[in-house]
Amino acid sequence: MALNKAAWLHKAGTPLEVGDAPMPIPGPNEIIVQNSAIAINPLDTHMQDVGVFVQQWPAIFGCDVAGTVYEVGSEVQHFKKGDRVIGHAVNLVTGKPQDGAFALYTAVPADKSAILPDTIPFTQGVVVAFALEAAVCALSVRQPGIAMPGVSTPALGLPYPSLETASSNKVLIVYGGSSSAGSMTTQLATAAGITVISIASEQNFGLCKSCGAAEVFDYHEPSFVEKVIAAASKYKGEFVGIFDAISTPETYANDLVILNELGGVHLACVHPPPENVPENIKAGMIFAVNDVATPVWRDYVTPALQAGKLKCLPPPTVVGKGLENVDEALKKCKAGVSGTKLVVEL
């Protein structure tokens, strides 16, 4: 019988401590992944600092795993022991320690997992999972749901990404195109035929273009808002709105100027939207655990990775090997990254 270990959070605001952990037991529709790589998300730093979303102490959290299937639940049909997979761990919702990524073994819903092609290393594949779910939530929810009390989710109702060449007359602005959520949203939107205009630092223009952005503008330039408006205006298609992957007072102020000029309807945020939104604009905050992503996980991820249509971007920065490095990786994430995702190899 394998032994599990985890990077535990015993109390908010303290470093993680590596220690023994119970071996996860799969629910009927879950797989147990023996993790080879895990990725760090800004959310994890908030969980560590203030214990947000922690339901059970001590806690194991973390959202992204890549590794090998160790065990499958009784109802699981599409995975078997030994498969190489990526998966979105949902401790955020369940609160169960066995559903947290920062461990040697993690329970992951089978419908939030996909086979990772042999050609893609675990340290690359692991950047996809949570960002993919965030991107589908930003793009394809049809009816607004509840992101948190009093805050609804955005409902852009855009098509899923396609393995074929898709075309659409829609135009979307992705603010923060070099972030994990922004680059994955750009990839999925452009794979649905949507034209994406992206906002990022100049050093990350190449990253945004590799994700499919038609044009990229540097937010450090004083006149970038006007340039974004001019660029979006020249496309004949329907301007859908903005996915704001940064969602700060500064980006919200720019969002509202852009939406006012271009007449877009949607403002999809990653944090609670601004309060002063005009009535004609539908603003919402994504909540990146949602069954809307199931068809994308099931039908798109593996063949798209195989075909090179879905890329493991932003590229990983491997902080170290072993669970002892998770705490250091969280510190680096808190300090901020540019055009990369922090990863710990196991």
Ligand X SMILES: NC(=O)c1ccc[n+]([C@@H]2O[C@H](COP(=O)([O-])OP(=O)(O)OC[C@H]3O[C@@H](n4cnc5c(N)ncnc54)[C@H](OP(=O)(O)O)[C@@H]3O)[C@@H](O)[C@H]2O)c1
Contact 308, 318 (CB under 8 A): no
Output 41 or 187, the one with its CB closest to ligand X.
41
In angstroms, what is the minimal distance from the CB of 34 to ligand X? 25
For the bound state, the minimum distance from the C-beta of residue 299 to ligand X, rounded and expressed in Å, comes to 22
Q: d(Cα 35, Cα 244) in Å, to the nearest integer?
A: 31
101 close to 38: Cβ distance less than 8 angstroms: yes
Which is nearer to ligand X, 206 or 322 (by Cβ)? 206
CA distances from 195 to 52, 216, 257, 265 (A): 36, 12, 20, 16
Shortest Cβ distance from residue 203 to ligand X (Å)?
Answer: 7
Do the beta carbons of residue 162 and residue 187 sit within 8 Å? no
Give Cα 271 to chain centroid, integer Å.
Answer: 14
> In the complex, what is the shortest distance from the CB of residue 88 to ligand X, in angstroms, rounded to a whole number?
11
φ, ψ at 84 (rounded to 5°): -85, 130
Nearest distance from C-beta of residue 114 to ligand X, angstroms: 18
Report how far residue 83's alpha carbon sits from residue 65's, in angstroms, rounded to the nearest whole number. Answer: 13
How many Å apart are CA 3 and CA 34, to the nearest integer?
A: 11
Shortest Å, Cβ 215 to ligand X? 15
Q: Distance between CA 335 and CA 346 in Å, rounded?
A: 23
- Minimal distance in Å, beta carbon 178 to ligand X? 4
Q: How far is the CB of 78 from ligand X (least distance, A)?
A: 25
Residue 199 or 323 having the CB closest to ligand X: 199
Would you call the peptide bond into 314 cis, given omega within 30 degrees of 0 as the criterion? yes
Q: Which is nearer to ligand X, 109 or 339 (CB)?
A: 339
Q: Which residue, 64 or 71, is less far from ligand X as judged by CB? A: 64
- What is each CA distance from 99 to 24, 152, 279, in whole angstroms? 8, 26, 40
**What's the one-letter identity of residue 82?**
G
Contact residues toward ligand X (CB under 6 A) are 41-43, 134, 175-176, 178-181, 199-201, 204, 219, 245-246, 251, 270, 285-288, 337-339
Q: Which is nearer to ligand X, 73 or 315 (CB)?
A: 315
CA dist., res. 342 & res. 316, Å (int): 6
Cβ proximity to ligand X, 61 vs 287, nearer residue: 287
At residue 88, φ and ψ (nearest 5 deg) are -100, 110
Sort residue 46 into left (φ over 0), alpha (ψ -120 to 50) or beta. Answer: alpha
Q: In the complex with ligand X, which residue's Cβ is closer, 78 or 331? A: 331
Is there a contact between 102 and 301 (Cβ–Cβ < 8 Å)?
no
